[in-house]
Structure 1
Amino acid sequence: MEERFLSLDEALSLANRLESHFWDFKSAESGGRNVQEISSALANAEGGEFVVGIEDEKRFTGINRWKGFSTIEDANWVHQNLVGEVDPPIPYDLEYLWIEGEEIRGTCCLVTVQKSADVHKTSKGEVYQRKGAQSLKLTGTKIADLALSKGARSYEDQPLKDYTLDEISEEPELQNFLQSYSPAATAEKFLKRQRMVTKADGLATVAAAILYAEEPAAVVPKRCSVKIARYESTEAVPDRKFLKGTPLTIDGPARLLIERTLDAVAEIIEAVPILGTDGMMSPVKYPPEALKEIIVNAVIHRDYNISDDILISIFDNRVEVRSPGRLPGHMTPANILTDRFARNPSIVRLLNKYPDPPNKDIGEGLDTVMSAMKAAKLKEPQFVVEDNAFVVILAHTPLARPEELILEYLRNNAEISNKTARSLTGIASENRVKQVFYKLRNAGMIEPVPERIRSQAAWRLTEKEAARATAGG
């Protein structure tokens, strides 16, 4: 436990920070129960911080929200609830913050809570978990799921023998980050407080390297870059002959790795042509927010203990993002949209501390992907668990039914072949497309083009349907 004096600007910045998945405020008058709930909720999630001594913005504004304890002794109950009332005790650090020249405003307690391997309960035996800006009470199977997830070990905490406190302290990315970090801290103080270096010998952890090393792949013993490959094919398992050029390798600290990957993927995708219902070839258009969330999730939730890179494969009809490692803890494709569990809580939490973090909407990433794809009228993404990887597939197949796409195409073009229909609808099977053609034929909407058989076979609108199309019906 330490004392620190902040400038008035730093104190104001702290008071104005928005509540989030990793940050909360409590009044100095809130009482032990509130401290137990927020601290156990953070420890049962990915960790985070809360400050005791700042009032709700509905009651006060600006620096007037800072209403701390008159003396450090008056705040002893905060420490007592963290250690003596939560079972088991919370893993935490505590700082007493004063405003320089404004001691009359009192001291606030800044509590940094680490994610724990235990399930923590309040003195009443209640279990809470942080989700978004809320501390939610868990019951029944949710507690059992949390206990199962707690058993999952993370490689991100492993120390790196050849990467020390002195080396990481000089990394440009860390220095850049600390310029905007509040309250201000030296590299050494920040890294030690956030458990990014070992106390005994000052060795940086895997998480520290992933977040701040200029070239993480050079200091982490496992492969941890991103590879991007372009296949000029729609096959499920394409032959190497369809690989266009040499796969691109992207490296860098997590924030820059995400930005560089997004730029590279966007550039490649813009050169992929697809067939539209107007019969014209145009560039693929995926919702940028969907691509971003999938790539961010791959970087922050992958298993860094597996020596493999994230692989992004761009096909003529889809994008596949393959992240090393199966889903962690109790997570499955069935509950991936409703539950959450971070394999790398330190990476997730500290990446969120940037002024404009790539993982801004904690817990809403995949929901964003689903809604963005739907808004773009594209089919929802597929989630696939393989032996040692989690794969997300974004197809640029339109959400409209195959029948609607074929009819729309024929309203703009004289005829359509099976091959063209497969490209248009995303249906891989020639026979399945035939069944769609037969369904439309039986409805009196299309007919075979006369004297066109086998590979030359094609379909066109019936005279009646063509007249309706011309009349705008």
Structure 2
Amino acid sequence: MTIEYKDKVTNKLYREVIAFANGTGGTIKIGMSDEKNILGLENPLAEENAVYDQLSKMVEPLPLVEIIQEHIDGKVILEVRVTATEHVYRQRDTLFGDLYVRYGSKKQLLKTADEVHGFLRLRYLDESENALTNTTFRTKDFSGLIDIIQNANTTTDRFKNMQKNLEDVLSSYNIIRWNNGEFVLTRLGSWLADSSHTRSVLLQYSGDRSTSFCQQVSDFSGSIVTQVSRIMTMLQTVQSLYPRELVQQSVVNAFVHRDYSIEGDVSVIIFANRMEISSPGTLIEGLSMESIKKGARIVRRNPLLHALFVDLGLTDGRGDGIRQIIDSYSEGDEKPKISVQKDSISVRLPRKEQVEKVSNNNQRTSTHKEITHEDAILSYLLEHKHAKNVDLQKILGVSPSRVTQIVRDMVTKNQLVAIGERKGRIYTLANTKQEE
């Protein structure tokens, strides 16, 4: 449960209540400092009446609030518990005055009609995250998330003392909710738990097509935060070939903005000349690729999940990831491609180009470095030391005669050494043979 601390009742307390009521609920503890020191209230009954009076005068519709007097160390504080409902709460007698909404640690004032319209659509879409499950909360189900949070590069205060304040942290993002005397997982919680049924896959091919030899197949399951971390770790071997920030942004977006009501996996596929990242689902109704490119305000499918990823430092939360992807390749001949289908969205990132600028009539010459068959063989032998003709067929995805031609040329160039008779012949790197 998200908690705010106030040393006294202020005349703007109603704004905090509006934000909680429009978000996922929360508690305001009055008579405590931000450092959680107990200050106490001299006249708690009068303060309680002042809260009710302020809310009745300032907020429409009247929010669902329960105020409890809590006695701690001989002092009395007020605990204002705010419940979120399907209503839209705002300043009384206005269309959208003082319309605040809060998710996690973020409180936002909606200032324009477009923002309000987006929020109304968001209220409807939030059910995909907020709906309760029948799964009882167990601390051990979030060990993966705890590890990620403890090692995250973040300054978010709520992540301090994570083990001690786990229930408060998870409640603040609506990962768990109190229901009939116990904490249960929301749908969001089911995606973040170690027992999550969501899956993702990483494939790497030796060539430019899926018919070429598949060098690597990795299948991931469990908490989606853990899946993102494992995928990014495995992508370190190709990070130098792509803009790192864009790869992470694309992977994070695939999880944050996917439609979890659709069966399917997030997939990351590495080809010799590109990377393709796909996720189930399509754009939210009302958005198009053209409107996004022109700077349309993003309506997020899973805002609570997005808020968590922002606080973890996995994304900056600016909502301009697609434009960043396009702009980052502005100087190259090859452009990224974003495809929107009925049930999926995919991002295609070309390998980074080595662009050489020359002053020749103000023209720019681009040279592309592609993985050749020779590169693939040399890379394989660096790791495996030797290979047979049949091994190289699998790597290159070409015929035996074509492999024979390629390796014959490489032997002639003193790149490889052939050892043994024709039937059992193996190939090694020329420099390796010389060292031996």
Residues in 2 aligned to 1:108 and 1:75: alpha-carbon distance in whole angstroms: 7
RMSD: 5.0
Contact 1:75 1:109 in 2 (8 A): no
| Counterparts of 1:41 and 1:399, CA distance in 2 | 49
Other-structure match for 2:413: none
**1:399 deviation in Å?**
10
Q: Counterpart in 1 of 2:222? A: 252
Q: Give unpaired runs (5+ residues) of structure 1.
A: 2-21, 56-61, 218-223, 271-282, 411-419, 425-473
In structure 1, C-alpha distance between the alignment counterparts of 2:172 and 2:265, rounded to whole Å = 29
Deviation of the 1:299 alpha carbon: 1.9
Instruction: Please tell me whether residue 328 in structure 1 is matched to residue 284 in structure 2.
Output: yes
The match for 1:196 is 176
Quick check: 1:344 aligned with 2:302?
Answer: yes
Q: Residue 415 of structure 1 corresponds to which residue in structure 2?
A: none
Q: For the residues of structure 2 that align with 1:94 and 1:174, how far apart are their CA atoms?
A: 33
- Number of corresponding residues: 352
Measure how far apart 1:346 and its partner are: 4.0
Match of 2:136 among 164, 176, 183: 164
User: For 1:40-439, what aligned pairs fall within 5 Å after superposition?
Assistant: 40-41=18-19, 43-44=21-22, 63=35, 69-73=41-45, 74-78=47-51, 85-90=58-63, 103=75, 107=77, 109=79, 114=84, 117-127=86-96, 128-130=99-101, 135-152=108-125, 154-161=127-134, 163-165=135-137, 167=138, 171-173=142-144, 180-181=160-161, 184-185=164-165, 187=167, 194=174, 196-197=176-177, 199-200=179-180, 203-211=184-192, 213-217=193-197, 224-234=198-208, 238=209, 240-242=210-212, 244-267=214-237, 269-270=238-239, 283-286=240-243, 288-328=244-284, 330-333=286-289, 334-335=291-292, 337-349=295-307, 357-359=312-314, 361=316, 363-364=317-318, 366=320, 370=324, 374=328, 382-396=337-351
- With normalisation by structure 2, the TM-score equals 0.61
Distance in 1 between residues matched to 2:172 and 2:187, nearest whole Å: 14
Per-residue deviation, 1:231: 3.7
**Structure 2 residue matching 1:245: 3-state secondary structure:** strand
CA displacement, residues 377-426 of structure 1 (integer Å, 9 cap, x when unaligned): 6788654422112333333455979998997669xxxxxxxxx66969xx
Alignment TM-score, normalising by the size of structure 1: 0.57
- Which residue of structure 1 aligns with residue 421 of structure 2? none
Native 8 Å contact 2:133 2:185 kept in 1: yes
Are the equivalent residues in 2 in contact too, given 1:312–1:321 (CA < 8 A)? yes
Unpaired stretches in structure 2, ≥5 consecutive residues? 150-157, 372-436
- For 1:102 and 1:382, locate their aligned partners in 2 and report how far apart those are by CA, in whole Å: 65
CA drift of 1:228 comes to 1.3
- Alpha-carbon distance change, 89 to 260 in structure 1, aligned in 2, over 3 angstroms: farther
Query: 1:35-66 CA deviation, whole Å, 9 max, x = no partner?
Result: 333443455467777665678xxxxxx85998
Q: Counterparts of 2:308 and 2:19 in 1: how far apart (Å)?
A: 18
Task: Give the superposition deviation at 1:216.
Answer: 1.0
Contact 2:252 2:315 in 1 (8 A): no
Change (3 A) 1:170 1:243: same
* Deviation of the 1:253 alpha carbon: 1.8
AA in 2 matched with 1:164 = T
Cα drift, residue 372 of structure 1: 11
Change (3 A) 1:122 1:205: same
Q: Percent of counterpart pairs with the same letter? A: 16
Q: Output one character per residue of 1:311-366: Cα deviation in whole Å (capped at 9) or x when no partner.
A: 1222334333212112335444324855243323443445666xxx14464x3253
CA distance in 2, matches of 1:377, 1:65: 56
